[in-house]
Amino acid sequence: MRRTIALVTALFLAAVAGWGIAKWLRVRSEPVGSPPGPAEIIRVPATQPAGVVEIPQEPPVSGLVLGENRAPLAGLTVICGDESRVTGGDGGFQFPPRRREWPLTAALQKDSVEILRWEGIGRPLADGRAVPGRIRWTLNVFGEVPSPVRSAKGETAAAEPKSDAQPTFAHVRGVFVEEWGTQAALRVTGSTPLPDGAHLNAALYFDGDRVISSIESAAAQGGKFEVRIEAPDTFTLHAATYRLVVTFGLGVEDFQDIERWRAERPEFPWDRAEDLSLVIDVFVGVPQEEQRDNREIETYFRRTLEDVHGLRTLLTSRAREARALAKNWDPALAAARRSVQDSARRDGSLQVAILDAAGRVDLEAWRQFLDVSWRPEVQRLMERQSGRLGGKYRKKEHVLAGLLERLIALSKMESVLVYQGLGLAPHPSDFFLDAEMPEGDLLILQQIMDKDMALLQGMGSIGTGERGGSVGPAGEQPASKKVR
């Protein structure tokens, strides 16, 4: 018995000792500290040695090389740092995903001869190895022959200026459009006969509006210039043809510089260089994206304008009917109107009758039609439109938003006239500033709405390439299109 107890005790002590040794060995083999959980993020310092942690790859660098009138330029060599690619038949190129040292040098070559060169392309990557979601370039290349130059008044000068023509002050050789994630920038490079230190500016127009412009002027140096346009982070550069306007004017130059230039460069016609501008078309993005965007915009405007037309017609017809019955009530006519109204097939909640059982105007039903059915439908269109005001065609989006607001105002004026026909004061929901004279205001409002509708009709068939740049500042046409 004693021998059995001793044996069990020895086995128990051996087991405890073995467990303790195993635990000690396991603790010794584990690193100090616990590994991060699945929700934790390890920040890689910028000085982290290569190969320790895998760094996220950048997206490919892709784009197009285009000539005047958006013609693709094939067979040119695009340089991206220490890499090169030859453009295809569509002018396209693509550099594979990899880590690159940004910013870098980009260039364009033809038959191993450099045509254009841009320094400092791209942005330094921040600590944590953040990379952009997209890197896309659009290279617009222009010919060697200077295009005509336009003054701010829209007068056109020939490439070889006569004594009474506007002087040629610049020739744009290339426009480099860089899309870096959600950010965008343009480099406008060219040659100029202006003296060193003369300042040039540039602005980008779309659909007749100036959308972005250079913040700092570019100084001419050695017969060359480069103007930079940086788009705000909140601005989206949509795929489209834009109008680029390069300007020079003595009004923004220092008086002492002007006097010095007149003495040093008497051959330049300074008396006709007060306010000059050069207008050209540049393309951004890829045509497929432009077409996709335009199809969506066309469909949206077409359907929204159809809704506006239908709601406006329904409102005015019912208001006209109510006013007619309020002034000249005829039981037979009222019964006929009610029969037609009851049998009419209308969509959704707009099936609201405005006549009572006797054929008279039912104000409670009229309020139901306006406040419960008709106006909420317009409000739905307004809310949808409010999310599009920063879109591609900003001016047209704002016009459409204003048209919907006027549609609400129209309902108030029509309703005030209905109440006046019944000899009643306007309903509080129909209040507007000139409620005492709605008839005159109604006529003016209808005319404004007709003009808005006519202006927006073209948005149902935008097309590509021409609409965005169709009108620049003061209705100017691009200089390149004036060449004969």
Alpha carbon dihedral 127, 132, 136, 142, in 10-degree steps, equals -40
Percent share of the chain, pLDDT over 70: 70
Task: Quickly state the pLDDT bin for 363 (edges 50, 70, 90).
Answer: confident
Domain boundaries, the chain: 61-285, 290-460
Q: How far apart are CA 313 and CA 307, in angstroms?
A: 10
Cα angle value 432/438/439 (rounded, 5°): 160
Query: Residues 316-325: pLDDT tens digits?
Result: 998 988 888 7
Convert the pLDDT of each residue in 44-92 to its tens digit.
344 444 444 455 678 999 999 999 999 999 999 999 999 999 999 999 9
pLDDT (average), residues 276-281: 95
**What's the length of the chain?**
484
Residue 469 banded pLDDT, cuts 50, 70, 90: very low
C-alpha–C-alpha distance, residues 350 and 369, integer Å: 7
DSSP 95: E
Please tell me the predicted confidence (pLDDT) of residue 200: 97
| Predicted structure pTM score | 0.74
- Asked if 280 and 186 touch (Cβ cutoff 8 Å), the reply is no
Find the mean pLDDT for residues 266-280: 93
Average pLDDT of every residue of the chain: 79
**What integer pLDDT is reported at residue 6 of this predicted model?**
53
Nearest partner of 248 among 222, 227, 231, judged by Cα: 227
- The pLDDT of residue 305 is above 50: yes
Residue 130 pLDDT greater than 70, yes or no:
no
- Which positions ≥6 away from 181 have C-beta within 8 Å? 132, 133, 134, 135
Is the pLDDT confidence value at 135 over 70? yes
Per-residue pLDDT at 238? 94
For 365-394, the pLDDT digits (tens) are 899 999 999 999 999 999 999 999 888 999
Give the count of beta carbons closer than 10 Å to the beta carbon of residue 313: 10
